Each structure stands twice: as C-alpha cells, then as structure tokens.
Homo-oligomer: A and B are copies of this chain.
C-alpha cells in the first residue's frame, strides 16, 4: 500500500470501485478459460437474463441489465455471432425484435453451471469479510435512491 490513491480515502472511491470491478472481470475470463468454457464475463448479464426470462425484446433486456440499448445491441450482435442467441420479429408489434437463447446457448449454460457454482463459492469467500461487499453495495444503492450523492453534496 505505497500508492497515493489507496491512501486518498473516500474521494477516490469511484476509481477504487472500477479497479476492483476490472480485476474481478479479468479473473472471471481466466476462470472460464481454465474450465474450457468459451464465454466472456461481459456476456453474463444478457445470458443470465435470458436464462430467467426466455423471450425478451432488445429494450426489455437493456432494462433488465441496466445498460443503454445501444450497448445491449452490440452485446446481442456478439452473442448472435457465437450462435448463442437468435431473434425473430414480434408479430403483434413489428418494431420489436424478440430475443431467445438457441439450443447451443442453453447447452452452454448447462455446461457453465459448475463454473458458476465455483465462482459463487470463491466470490462469497472473497467478499465475506467484516464489511460484506455485496451488502455494502446494496446499502449504498438504497441510500442513493432516497438521496443521491449530488443532492447530498448540494445540500451542505
């Protein structure tokens, strides 16, 4: 811990969060690879969403994963190239593209289950410290919902 940012305290919290996120994502990729799974961590939100809700439009997926719709479209393009998802027009609303997992996609999820389980165990061990990271995130999001960082700072 010799560096300034680690010592600059809470002002650098955004940087710290991002760094932690990146590290976890990088390790995630390594874990999939080491287990012979061809899957990128950034695909997880879309694939997991379609696993739980099998047929959704582009905007619905974007809403579920909390990304903008253009970001979602580009993820969907990658997943389509991998043949993990496919899409069809909604017959009752011609604007909508309905997305679903392909058989290959469903099979991959099946193969990934044991890896996801390992990840859950490892992440739980990693974050189950005196101050639980997942709970801390949830608590802060809750706090922000009632009163954002901006509002709090302006009120002073």
Question: Which residues from chain B contact A36 at a C-beta distance below 8 Å?
Answer: none
- Judging by beta carbons under 8 Å apart, are B45 and A5 in contact? yes
Q: Is the CB of A133 within 8 A of B137?
A: yes
- For the complex formed by this chain, how many copies does it contain in all? 2
Shortest Cβ gap from A122 to chain B (Å): 4
Interface presence of A104 (CB below 8 A): no
Please state if A24 and B20 are interface contacts (CB–CB under 8 Å). no
Cα(A132)–Cα(B134), bound, Å: 11
Contact status of A150 and B20, CB under 8 A, knowing A131-B136, A140-B126: no
Contacts of A154 in B (CB 8 A): 31, 34
Q: How large is the interface on A (under 10, 10 to 19, 20 to 34, 35 or more residues)?
A: 35 or more
Q: Mark A97-119, 1 if CB is under 8 A from B, else 0.
A: 00000000000000000011011
The reply to whether B131 and A149 form a contact with Cβ atoms under 8 Å apart is no
Q: Pick the contact of A49 from B5, B13, B45 — CB < 8 Å?
A: B5
Sampled A-B contacts (18; CB under 8 Å)? A3-B63, A3-B65, A4-B49, A4-B65, A5-B48, A5-B65, A9-B134, A10-B124, A16-B137, A17-B24, A23-B144, A34-B153, A115-B153, A118-B156, A122-B153, A126-B152, A133-B137, A136-B136
